[in-house]
Amino acid sequence: MSQEEDKARILSAFGGTKGLIDSGAPALIFLIAFNFTKEVRDSAYLALAFSLVVTLIRLIKRDTIQHAISGVIGVAFCAWLSNRSGKAEDFYLPGLWTNAIYGAAYALSAIIRWPVVGLILGPLLGENLKWRKDPIRRALYVRATWVWVGLFAARLVVQYPIYLSGNVNALGTARLIMGFPMFILAAWLTWQIVKSGPKLREDLRPAP
């Protein structure tokens, strides 16, 4: 398997471009709508409608709808939460919870030497779980996992104080800046780390 194929698999494993659009665009729609309408309910419903349309398009084109469906569920929950509280900033609160949970899970996996990145990429790169018996490969996956811990932690450190301030525009902007661009950076760093070390030892490679 070529390095470009490995790179594509890594990007796809963490959601890919379509997954980011499905999960990130509704938040942008909400922010724009709220600036025009100043109505939490209408803005939330518009974001939800957008997410449903994206899912319908994926179905029509017979694309993978896993991330689209997850996006609809996530946006529906965000809409419910913000409508319930009447606070526009609460539309972004589940995203903060998600980053906290993911960050803790990834950090714990790295600490106990069962790094999430290895669990995700090992089977995709043809290593299955054999990498756990190769100290070098395992160390690479641990390092790559800490990259994602850093991503989740950075989002929380920056966005949570903004959430507490109630500044919806600043919070929505921070989410956009720290969404797709930082995801691409984390995926690229993961690829760089994984490809920087030697391949899995011959005696550990799964039989063809």
Which residue in the block uniquely carries the two structure tokens 């920087």? 196
Higher pLDDT, 54 or 189: 189
Query: What whole-number distance in Å separates Cα of residue 43 and Cα of residue 91?
Result: 10
Residue 179 has a pLDDT of 86
> How many Cβ atoms sit within 10 Å of the Cβ of residue 180?
15
Sequence-separated (6 or more) residues with CB below 8 Å from residue 43: 29, 30, 33, 34, 37, 88, 91
Percent of the chain past pLDDT 90, that is, above it, reads 48
Sequence-separated (6 or more) residues with CB below 8 Å from residue 12: none
Specify the amino acid at residue 88.
A
Whole-model pTM? Answer: 0.84
Residue 203 has a pLDDT of 64
Quick: pLDDT tens for 164-188: 999 999 999 999 889 888 888 898 8
Quick: pLDDT tens for 191-208: 899 888 888 766 666 665
- Domain with 99, as residue range(s), is 3-204
Residue 118 has a pLDDT of 93
Residue 128 has a pLDDT of 86
Quick: pLDDT tens for 126-150: 888 889 988 999 999 999 999 999 9
Name the domain count of the chain.
1
- Collect contacts of 161-165 with beta carbons under 8 A, ≥24 apart: 163/89, 163/92, 163/93, 163/96
Tokens linked to 40: 């939490």
DSSP annotation of 205 reads: S
Residue 115 has a pLDDT of 96
Q: Residue 2 above 60 pLDDT?
A: no
Quick: pLDDT tens for 91-128: 999 999 999 999 999 999 999 999 999 999 988 888 88
